[in-house]
A and B are shown apart, each in its own frame.
Chain A
Amino acid sequence: MMKRIVVGIKRVVDYNVRIRIKPDGSGVVLDGVKMSVNPFDEIALEEALRIKERAGAEEVVVATIGPSDCQAQLRTCLAMGADRALHVLSDAPTEPLTTARILLKLIEREQPFLVLLGKQAIDDDNGQTGQMLAALWQRPQATFASKIELGEGKAQVTREVDAGLETLEVDLPAVITVDLRLNEPRYVKLPEIMKAKKKPLETLPLESLGVAPGAHLTTVRVAAPPQRQKGIQVENAAALVATLKEKGLLTS
């Protein structure tokens, strides 16, 4: 069996975009907004490619769930170096639990020894899909990875946790979600973009996978966060210390 890595990717509003909320509070304005591969997922893909380049894997498959526009992001991933892309077509956004169920179907088909995902998507900031997938698949999870070392049938993963760094050993196959410091994704070169056009991209209608899209949560409204007021300027260090003392902020 081919040694395969599946990388899940999500199309999201580019991290440089200042988002705007729709006046009716139904969501965030997406029309005409620059979309990109979720930055964490890019790191997951970069890691998969590096593993393949040092002969730790034979094939890297990227998978996404979303509307037909997502193919642009899948092509970017193919240009980065992924071998194949799977696109599960769903016009409505899927919640993490549904996404995990869909990914599980793809995994059952592809039989990867490793699944890499970003630790969170920067639109919904849920941070759930990888852990849910690992639970449904009944396999180990290692979240927030900043270092991955593959061994025979297992992996050592260093994780960024609140207290510092933690290292786990997991049996493979496993789901690993990646953090920002794992690597720096490569830039895509023009010839690669041309080549990527010829790489296989398979579209699967969501219905064909037998997963109910079912929404579990309803969005009641989306609102802007409370704004902080712009404050005062002080001239120098002495004025700053005096102001802080006056406000009682230097002693508790």
Chain B
Amino acid sequence: MSASILIVAEHDGTTLGAGTARCVACAATVAQAEITVVVCATDASAVARQAAALRGVHRVLTVEHPIHAHPLAAAIAPQIAALGGPYTHVLGPSSTFGKDLMPRIAALLDTAQVSDIMAVEGPHRFRRPIYAGNAIVTVEVPADTKVVGTVRTASFRAAGVGGTAQIEKIDAPVEPPSHTRFVSTSAAKSDRPDLQTAARVISGGRALGSAEAFQMLYQLADKLGAAVGASRAAVDAGYAPNELQVGQTGKIIAPELYVAIGISGAIQHLTGIKDARTIVAINKDPEAPIFEVADIGLVGDLFEIVPQIEKLL
């Protein structure tokens, strides 16, 4: 049997989110998959073009409705559930967008969800992390059941571009509810690389001690063209904004280089960096658990070491 896979696109109205190309890559590992991407937007044209260019995508559907100006799960889920019937799989990225949306779709489709798919072992068999990544479970969905899932994007390399899928505009299948309304967003626009896709990440922990000291990491990051991340302790203490948090409850990332500065390496933090190619740890405590996973460790005081590194670059 061939698979027919529907992927819900994440976007900001103009740009397709990086997670969608990784969902396509995940879907492409299902044998004989025919991949459709659906874009819910007010004006879907720009995003649809980007989705159509992804290698492996067969078709792009656009659903345009004013309510889709913001990604409200309550508004998108019924559209996707109404469209989902013919598909064997419905997938979305394991970003806050997908985590919010996909279970609502699954429930409307009366089916279970496989969260954080990290590997596809068969059309109905997947691997996913549990216990903050300290165990990996292989789960199976019954063969006659639709698979709804979120894709752990750090586990897949983005699908390339060069495709030329058909774009098909369809009428919104259902009138979305009005019980949920967008009010505002505080998304800070930054010129720095995006934490989730950056090749290099400089991350700071509680040891930084203040928001001012954290600035030191921004300077270092800028010299390296790196994104900045943070531990939960650093975010909770107000040294860094919440969107920088890396870990079980923050972002799961897979950069080429991850530099953990003044971070102890709690399991909840490590879960976010397991797929990093090279981990560097700078910590004054030689017993800090971060050194158990670091490829390169440097024991010492970050307040001396970080300025020295910056000078050497």
Contact = CB atoms under 8 A, between A and B. Distances in A.
Interface of A: 13, 15, 18-19, 21, 28, 95-97, 100, 119-120, 122-136, 138-144, 146, 156, 159-171, 174, 179-181, 216-225, 228-241, 243-244, 247, 249-250, 252
B108 interface: yes
A123 B186 contact: no
Contact of A232 (B116, B137, B179, B295): B295
30 contacts: A97-B106, A100-B107, A119-B249, A123-B130, A125-B115, A127-B99, A131-B103, A132-B104, A135-B108, A136-B107, A140-B179, A141-B74, A144-B100, A160-B96, A161-B185, A163-B243, A164-B187, A165-B186, A167-B182, A168-B72, A180-B236, A221-B137, A224-B136, A225-B133, A233-B297, A240-B280, A240-B282, A240-B298, A244-B257, A250-B200
B10 to A, nearest CB: 9
Looking at chain B's contact residues, the main secondary structure is mixed
A170 B305 contact: no
A211 B84 CA distance: 25
Contacts of A159: 96
Contacts of A250: 200, 224, 257, 313
Contact of B186 (A97, A164, A169, A218): A164
Interface in B162-188: 177, 179-188
B235 A181 contact: yes
B256 A218 contact: no
B274 interface: yes
A237 B305 contact: yes
Given A170-B180, A228-B279, A223 B107 contact: no
Given A126-B113, A169-B181, 14 more contacts: A28-B135, A120-B249, A128-B106, A133-B107, A144-B100, A162-B243, A167-B184, A169-B180, A170-B180, A180-B232, A180-B249, A224-B135, A232-B297, A249-B200
Interface residues of B, number: 90
Contact of B139 (A130, A164, A217): A217
Nearest 3 CB-CB pairings of A with B? A216-B112, A231-B295, A237-B308
A172 B313 CA distance: 55
A168 B298 contact: no
A146 B243 CA distance: 12
Nearest to A170: B180
Contacts of A142: 180
A131 B73 contact: yes
A122 B268 CA distance: 10
A171 B179 contact: yes
B85 interface: no
Contacts of B97: 161-162
A163 B11 CA distance: 12
B141 interface: yes
Interface in B254-306: 256-257, 267-268, 274, 278-280, 282, 291-300, 305
A247 B200 CA distance: 13
B312 interface: yes
Looking at chain A's contact residues, the main secondary structure is mixed
B181 A233 contact: no
Given A131-B107, A222-B137, A162 B129 contact: no
A121 B180 CA distance: 25
Interface of B: 12, 72-74, 77, 95-97, 99-108, 110-116, 125, 129-142, 145, 177, 179-188, 196, 199-200, 224-225, 232, 235-236, 241-243, 248-249, 251, 256-257, 267-268, 274, 278-280, 282, 291-300, 305, 308-309, 312-313
A252 B134 CA distance: 31
B135 A223 contact: yes
A160 B242 contact: yes
A18 B312 CA distance: 39
A234 B281 CA distance: 10
Contacts of B142: 216, 218
Which of A123, A127, A167, A238 is packed against the most chain B CB atoms within 10 Å? A127
Given A237-B308, A237-B312, A168 B180 contact: yes
B312 A249 contact: no
A95 B113 CA distance: 9
Contacts of B295: 228-229, 231-232
A222 B134 CA distance: 10
A166 B278 contact: no
Nearest to B109: A135
Contacts of A123: 130-131
A247 B278 contact: yes
Contacts of A122: 131-132, 248
A238 B100 contact: no
Contact of B111 (A15, A125, A216, A234): A216
Given A123-B131, A225-B135, A232-B295, A146 B114 contact: no
